[in-house]
Structures are given as C-alpha cells and as structure tokens.
Amino acid sequence: MIGRSHQELDLLDPVKTKQFVASEKPDTIIIAAALVGGIHANNTYRSEFIYKNLEIQNNLIWAAHELGVDNLIFLGSSCIYPRGARQPMDESCLLTGPLEYTNRPYAIAKIAGLELVNCIRQQYGRNYFSAMPTNLYGPGDNFHPENSHVMPALMRRFVEAKAQNAQEVVIWGSGTPLREFLHVDDCADAIIHLMETVKKGTLETLPPAKDGFYHVNVGSGSEISIGDLAHTIANAVKFKGKLVFDRTKPDGTPRKLMDISVLKNLGWSPKIPLNDGVKSTVAWYIDSLKKHDPSLRG
C-alpha cells in the first residue's frame, strides 16, 4: 500500500502528481483525497470546495490514465444525489433533481469526477469505477471546531463540555434531519471488496446503470436523527448536561439514506454497529487529546 500525506505530495500540482504516479507505478489507485467539511465549511468556502476538488481528482485520474494504470476507484459522496431524492437513494437517483444548496459546489465536483471516470472506462476500456460513500467517521477524523463533519464536531463539543463541566451543549439545527453513518474501517473493507470485483470485470453486469453511469453506493443502510446521534455521543462521553438545538442554523438535506442493495448483492455488508463505533471513536479521540495535553492525563 502506497500513500502520501498532503505535506508530502500536493495533489493540486499536476506535474508533481504525475511524477509521483510515474515513479511508483501502481497497479491500482484508490482516490480518497479531497477537500471535505461539514455544512459550515461547504457553505462558507464554496469556491475552494469546487476548484480544489476538481483539481485533485482531475490530476490523479488523468495521470493514472496517461501512465497506463488500469485499475482505479474514485470515491465520491452521497451528496451527489438530489436534495429531494426518493429514500433510500439508489444509484439511479443521480441527476434526477436539484442538489442541496449548502454543499452543491462539492457535489458538482464529485459528479464531474464520476463522469470523467465513466468516460475513460467507456472510451479506453480501463477498469475505472466510482464508489459513493455515505457519511464516514472513526479514528483519525478531522475534529476541527468549524470545518469538521457533524460526527467529529459533536464529539469535540461534548468532550470539551464535559472537561469544562458545562451545563449544556448547543447543536446546530433542529436535530430532526436523518443521516446515515459508516465506520471508516467498514468503508475501507467495502472499497477493497469493490476493487476485487472490478478486477474480475463483473460490476457492469449489475443494475442499475443510468446513461452509462456505473457507480456503487457504500453505506450502512440505516439512519439516525441528528438529535439521537447527539444523545448517543453524549452517553459515550458521559456528559450529563442539557442538549440545546439552535434552530437558527441550517439543517441541510432533511434525509439522506443510501440504498446499498447493489453492494449487498456483491457479497458485502457492514460489520460495525453505530453505538460500538461511536464509543470506540470517542475513546480514541480522548486518548489522542491526552497524548498532546499532559494535564488531561490522570
């Protein structure tokens, strides 16, 4: 397995990206690199989210093609589907309605990557394919106070509130939107399973396919409200205070559940229950804080 951090390789640089692929000569490339964030980051840095994600994915996908890498999986996002898509969303929901405004730039970038992958596969016969993961969480996540996704953002708030003996934690929105979450270890397992299937050349025999688009949803197939998620995290942290929902902040898409029937038909199912995953991730996060701040040990 070959990987590079952002500090080691700037994927916004097409020359350096191509030089890296040429020097390593990989048999397979899995593109998980992206500029990501929660509602605040997506809606605040709209220009950066479309520009940088287009650059990252274009540089990697085209370098792979030009250098003869035959196997590639591009990771998109469940936000490629319309805000009002039928639930649960299967792969054929793509391009059937308007996107959620708050993350539209990011979604459009991911749709463009999906199309580029499809075109290269159709035109040049390479085993290039796209997978659409749902909301991921787990050790190593981004816990930034402003730019993180909902799961790590809530974990940080509750951990800090408990440490400060706060009486309440404020949560953006009404708490009613429904979201699906998948542990990062389950996602990695699913991607490996998909790549093995791609190499066998059996993916395109499976429905659904829409206008030449072939991609597979990767999710848990279950959902939870943001309010219930907040209570789950509060319990994992052992926070006993009050939960306050700030309805002046945006909720985003009301519901976003993936139909993972295609992936299940390929022989894969998630293994890590949400409660277990939340507890282990909270424990990892607290442990990582203690390593950087000796005053928290004890």
Minimal CA–CA distance to 184: which of 196, 192, 175, 174? 192
Supply the pLDDT for residue 37: 82
Supply the pLDDT for residue 172: 87
Question: Which pairs from 44-52 meet CB under 8 Å and 24+ separation?
Answer: 46/104, 46/105, 47/105, 49/103, 49/105, 49/106, 49/109, 50/105, 50/106, 50/108, 50/109, 52/12
Model confidence at 167, pLDDT cuts 50, 70, 90, reads very high
Supply the pLDDT for residue 212: 61
Calculate the alpha carbon distances from 173 to 146, 167, 178, 256 in Å.
15, 19, 12, 16
- The stretch 153-157 carries a mean pLDDT of 94
Supply the pLDDT for residue 40: 81
pLDDT in tens, 179-230: 999 999 999 999 999 988 877 777 666 655 556 667 899 999 999 999 999 9
- The stretch 21-33 carries a mean pLDDT of 95
Residue 223 or 294, more confident: 223
| Domain edges within the chain | 14-292
Number of H helices, E strands in the chain: 9, 11
CA 104/CA 82 separation, integer angstroms: 10
User: Which of the following is catalytic: 45, 81, 106, 137?
Assistant: 106
CA 296/CA 298 separation, integer angstroms: 7
- The stretch 105-131 carries a mean pLDDT of 94
User: Radius of gyration over alpha carbons of the chain, in Å?
Assistant: 20
Supply the pLDDT for residue 207: 58
Is residue 106 part of the annotated active site? The answer reads yes
- Name the pTM for this structure: 0.89
- For the ranges 11-15, 124-128, 204-208, the one whose mean pLDDT is highest: 11-15
Range scoring the smallest mean pLDDT among 165-169, 229-233, 265-269, 294-298: 294-298
Does residue 254 contact residue 178 with C-beta atoms inside 8 Å? yes
- The stretch 263-276 carries a mean pLDDT of 95
pLDDT > 70: percent of the chain: 94
Minimal CA–CA distance to 129: which of 80, 197, 33, 60? 197
CATH, domain range 14-292: 3.40.50.720
Average pLDDT over all residues of the chain: 91
Q: Is the pLDDT of residue 92 over 60?
A: yes
Those residues whose C-beta lies under 8 Å from the C-beta of residue 125, and which sit 6 or more positions away, are none
Supply the pLDDT for residue 261: 93
pLDDT in tens, 249-269: 888 788 889 999 999 998 999
Model confidence at 298, pLDDT cuts 50, 70, 90, reads very low
Supply the pLDDT for residue 148: 81
Q: What is the DSSP string of 270-294?
A: --S-HHHHHHHHHHHHHHHHHHH-G
Supply the pLDDT for residue 192: 94
Supply the pLDDT for residue 297: 46
- The stretch 38-45 carries a mean pLDDT of 85
Query: How many Cα atoms occupy the beta-carbon half-sphere of 28 within 13 Å?
Result: 15
Residue 96 or 6, more confident: 96
**Tokens in use for 134?**
């749902």
Q: Is the pLDDT of residue 134 over 90?
A: yes
Q: Is the pLDDT of residue 278 over 50?
A: yes
User: Which segments of 101-180 are extended strands (E)?
Assistant: 127-133, 135-137, 168-172, 178-179
The number of angstroms, rounded, from the C-alpha of 63 to the middle of its chain's C-alpha atoms is: 23
CA 156/CA 141 separation, integer angstroms: 11
